[in-house]
Amino acid sequence: MGIKVAVVGATGQVGREILRTLAEREFPADEVVALSPGRAGGQEVSYGEERVLRVRGLDGFDFRDTDLAFLAAGEAASATEASRIADAGAMVIDLSARFRLEPDVPLVVAEVNAASLTRARRRRIVACPGGMAGMIAVALKPLHAIGRARRVVVTGLHAVAGAGKEAMDELWAQTRGVYVNEAPPAEQFPKAIAFNLIPQVGEIRDDGLTSEEQGIAFELRKLIDPDLTAVASCVRVPVFIGDSACVVAEFERPVPEKEAWAALRAAPGLIVLDRREEAGYATPAEVAGEDAVYVGRLRRDLTVPNGLAFWCATDTLRKGAALNAVQVAEELLRQRLLE
């Protein structure tokens, strides 16, 4: 009996990327169903280069013969639909923030902690981290294995793709408007994003942190080590696709630079640029459309005994969202957790 896969939110950017990635990686699905909440039913979406799927409405869809469901329709849809889908017998891979911090739901990056997927047997829900936390975890894990990271300071530079298609359209319209003296007002962000930086990603809480900053700290702890402390400053940047971060990590034990470089080069999911020269690093524009997390500018942090600083970047929609979700699905299949 083959695998039936449902993609909820198939008309959105991430949903479309999931369908593209499933086809590119030849995920062994006998049937793929495209679903969308609201009134998107009846639209068509591409699945691979030759196949087109007609989108069905989510309301009332019967998941009893579905083996695997990707939830990429936002936190509200995950809150109402994830348990219903899981109770019907499907394994749910959720890309929203709804379940990331729940203790009995595994938060998984395929290269970092795939073994924790066994804990998904009870609730049949797996959470994917936010793109920034997932990217940093892939880069930090091999260094943590050497010296055990104790504290991490993150400056996250978030592309507008993480806020959806409307946000990307707003960046385009505002950029064009600057040159024709007709810049539209800010609607998707608190301030204009074109030619600007906005030091706010997510809602600002009473303690001064944004929801994204709090999420990164908690998610890194769940992904890497429960004793890891982290502080993040998140900035929305006028980049369409490509998240990046400056990371400073303090370790319990020394991490020699040569050993760190070797560990990063050997780690799965990473491409390392270790040239200490002008332009010897990857930028967000260069990683758009790529699957890997790019790491470079590794150097010592001389302000603490065992500190390292590095730069990393990845595609917001691929490794930051869709690719990791499909890799999690591949791991569920490999570990025979879809049976």
Q: What is the pLDDT of residues 215-274, one digit of tens each?
A: 999 999 999 999 999 999 999 999 999 999 999 999 999 999 999 999 999 999 999 998
The predicted pLDDT at position 40 comes to 63
* pTM given for the model: 0.94
User: Angle, nearest 10°, between helix axes 13-24 and 323-334?
Assistant: 50
Provide the pairing of β-strand 293-301 with 270-273: parallel
pLDDT tens per residue, range 163-173: 999 999 999 99
Going along the chain, which residue ranges are E strands?
3-8, 29-36, 44-47, 51-54, 56-57, 68-71, 91-94, 125-127, 149-158, 229-236, 243-251, 270-273, 293-301, 307-314
Helix (H) or strand (E) holding 136: helix 131-147
The predicted pLDDT at position 72 comes to 96
- CATH 3.30.360.10 domain range(s) in the chain: 132-316
Residue 1 scores a pLDDT above 60? no
- For residues 130 and 185, which has the higher predicted lDDT (pLDDT)? 130
CATH classification of 132-316, choosing from 3.40.50.2300, 3.30.360.10, 3.30.540.10, 3.40.640.10? 3.30.360.10
- CATH 3.40.50.720 domain range(s) in the chain: 3-129+321-334
Residue 214 burial by CB count (10 A; 0-12/13-18/19+): exposed, middle or buried? middle
What is the average per-residue pLDDT within 312-336?
Answer: 97
Classify domain 3-129+321-334 at the CATH topology level: Rossmann fold (3.40.50)
- Where residue 41 falls among pLDDT bands split at 50, 70, 90? low
What is the average per-residue pLDDT within 154-169?
Answer: 96
